[in-house]
Amino acid sequence: MAAIAPRYQSLKASNDLQERIMRSWREIRNGDVNAEPNGIRSLLVKHRRTAIASAAFAVAGIILIVTIFMQGPLETRRGSMVMNRMDAGVTVNGIPARNGEAVYDASMIRLPEMAIAQLVYDDTIKITLINNNDFSIDNFIIEKALNVKLGLTLRDGMLLSAIHGRQTTIKYEYRTPNARIEPLGTEFLLQTEDGVTLVIMKEGAIKVTHIRSGKSETVPSGRKCIISDSFACMPTTKEDMKIFDDLDKLRNGSYAHLLLPAIYDLKVRAKTGNRDTGDIGKEKNNKKNDIQNEGEDTRNDTIEKQNSRVDRDRERMQQRMEQKKMQMNEMRRNNKTNMNQQMRRGR
């Protein structure tokens, strides 16, 4: 014991421990490094291995933390909706739509008269576009696959919105020319025509903000709102609720008297206080005459808008074709270069 560790001479050890220590000392002295470590040496080796393992785990943890920090706390990806149902004449970015097609953000969807198109995402979002529609998906972002941010614009036309978050957190809004609609997990009809917006609530609630004045109002289920220069909200009727039950009737105009422009005309007449049946009839006839007189101008404006849309769509298609042509030419040049290089190597 004194030869191995003089400083431990005062300690008493059992015969067995002394024998193990002496055996370890002989192995170290004779250079038997491959012998099974035991005694004090085994303790040193064991602790050394533990220290190495701890250091390795610490380094791995640091690398993992740095990787997570560099990637950011949220994984964001671009979302898309699926064209689930559509009638003839529906286009996406000026190209005829296909059933089952993925529709991404920055997409413009247009419908002709007497047509329906339905966009769906998972089992949480369903948007049904109806008749002569000008609609766009402005942005669609998915974070962690459970947090959806969706921005939509209805410039002209009508839609039914049914969005239920379930396990998904959905933050989204619709915009019309004069209003911003922020639903709260709900189902409703939204229509805009000639700068007037109509909302008919079936379920849930929405927050409507007048873009020009900044005034906001919450519209719960069982209410409908007309947004023009101001808000005009009123209770819904049983007939209003039938709108949500039959898409074909809605498309065919069976509920036109409940929608724009008819309901807006009723609101204007109610505001003037003109309740006399004869006066209302005269006003209606005058309205028809005005519409007929202005019909030609309206048709001309519509034709100009349609031509402008066609021109824009044609220009986009030409740009895409030019891009594809350039890509094909680049591929041909690369293939030719590769073939020439291979032929030179072969020689």
In this prediction, residue 268 carries a pLDDT of 62
180 secondary structure, DSSP code: E
In 3D space, the residue among 208, 231, 232 whose CA is nearest the CA of residue 218 turns out to be: 208
In this prediction, residue 335 carries a pLDDT of 80
Q: What angle do CA 146, 147, 153 make, to 5 degrees?
A: 130
In this prediction, residue 275 carries a pLDDT of 44
Q: Which residues pair with 270 in a beta bridge?
A: none
In this prediction, residue 29 carries a pLDDT of 55
In this prediction, residue 112 carries a pLDDT of 95
In this prediction, residue 347 carries a pLDDT of 60
The length of the chain in residues reads 347
Residue pair 140/78 in contact (Cβ under 8 Å)? The answer is yes
In this prediction, residue 122 carries a pLDDT of 86
Residue pair 120/145 in contact (Cβ under 8 Å)? The answer is no
CB atoms closer than 10 angstroms to residue 93: 18
In this prediction, residue 254 carries a pLDDT of 94
In this prediction, residue 101 carries a pLDDT of 95
CA gap 93, 109 in Å, rounded: 6
CA gap 25, 225 in Å, rounded: 95
In this prediction, residue 80 carries a pLDDT of 93
In 3D space, the residue among 188, 110, 103 whose CA is nearest the CA of residue 150 turns out to be: 103
Q: How many CA atoms lie within 13 A of 6 on its CB side?
A: 1
Q: What angle do CA 310, 315, 320 make, to 5 degrees?
A: 125
Tokens in use for 224? 């409908």
Strands (E), the chain: 76-78, 80-86, 91-92, 95-96, 102-104, 107-111, 116-121, 125-143, 147-163, 169-176, 179-183, 186-193, 196-203, 205-210, 216-220, 223-227, 231-235
In this prediction, residue 210 carries a pLDDT of 94
Return the domain boundaries, the chain: 76-273, 278-347
What do you get for the CA distance between the two ends of the chain, in Å? Answer: 81
The amino acid sitting at 138 is D
In this prediction, residue 3 carries a pLDDT of 45
Tokens in use for 207? 């927050």
Tokens in use for 82? 């699926």
Q: Which residues pair with 157 in a beta bridge?
A: 192
Tell me the CATH architecture of domain 76-273.
Sandwich (2.60)
Taking the chain (347 residues) in runs of 10, the rounded mean pLDDT of each run is: 44 58 62 50 51 58 55 70 93 95 95 95 92 95 81 96 77 92 88 95 94 93 93 94 94 94 73 46 52 55 64 77 78 80 74
